[in-house]
Structure 1
Amino acid sequence: MAKENSFDIVSQVDMQEVNNAVDQAIRELRTRFDFKGSRSDINYDGETIILTGDDEFKLKNVVDILETKLVKRGVNLKALRYGKIEPAAKDTVRRRVTLVQGLDKEKAKVITKLVKDSRLKVQATVQGDQVRISGKNRDDLQAVMQKIKEHEFDIPIQFVNYRSF
């Protein structure tokens, strides 16, 4: 009796690590000498990060601080979507950063098309915001993983939930 193997392709961000990185960035922002007396700030509500700076140069520095802390905590920067720089109160500028979670339908279609074009004996099914790849041969599944890693996506892709049953 042949075993069935499967794994899921997802796009997830560890929200606890994002929270820790934002906290570290806020602490650095408040202690750096070049931000003394500045109205620059970082606010995080669990979904959106709002960056505030005195001007565009200070805002760019705030973005650099945040990105550095996120990278150190292992958060992929592809998960960030930056909004436009907009004017805010007291002659400051603001920028919203949203975090991308899950695969949208277009990305799921691209992944299933890549799997079908590979001509391997595997099946790809879309399940909500993830894609499940299943097949009998583990080598085929690993070939699919390699094919997906080679394709350049604008979101972070992870392979989880590897099962043999």
Structure 2
Amino acid sequence: MKSLLFEKFIKYAMLRAAFLGIMGIITFLFPEFLLNGMVYVIGGYVILNGALSIVGAVIHGRNDNKTTSYVNIVISCLLIICGMLSIVYHRYLISILPVFLGSLMMIEGIVYFIIALRLVTKTKLLLIFISVFIMIGGIASNIFTFGFGGLPILSQIFGTLLLLSCLYELIAYLVYRKTVK
């Protein structure tokens, strides 16, 4: 349970869970939000994640392995650059929105899957199931790129995936809190 990946992941889990839950609800209630503001919000989310990782690496860098700290800072800087590029090129990303959202959810599902595999807890199978479902949902979102379903279906799929991600973050945080006590 004491893996470095899990420790770094869980650090801001409640913040991410709140964000993902709010975005999931907004996506369900206002499907047009996908076209108007989702790319900006995701760009901001990625920039915030990158900035928090850099702050964590600088603050806790003395305790970690130097190579790990440098890799963490490089990946965090790449996250910030990707977030900025997604905001700057918002107009172009709208045309490939299902691929953009689907790819993000597939990557998130893969990260969740890797983290779930490393856990030694009773909820491991549930977390693996949720992560696989998020990956499959990302693939389904990519399928809708080719004209199936339209915006209402895409917003339902993406909203569901966001709420599942929120659930995953909450369960992982609760598992961590339970094992720490």
Q: TM-score, normalised by structure 2?
A: 0.25
Higher strand share: 1
Q: TM-score, normalised by structure 1?
A: 0.27
Structure label with greater radius of gyration: 1
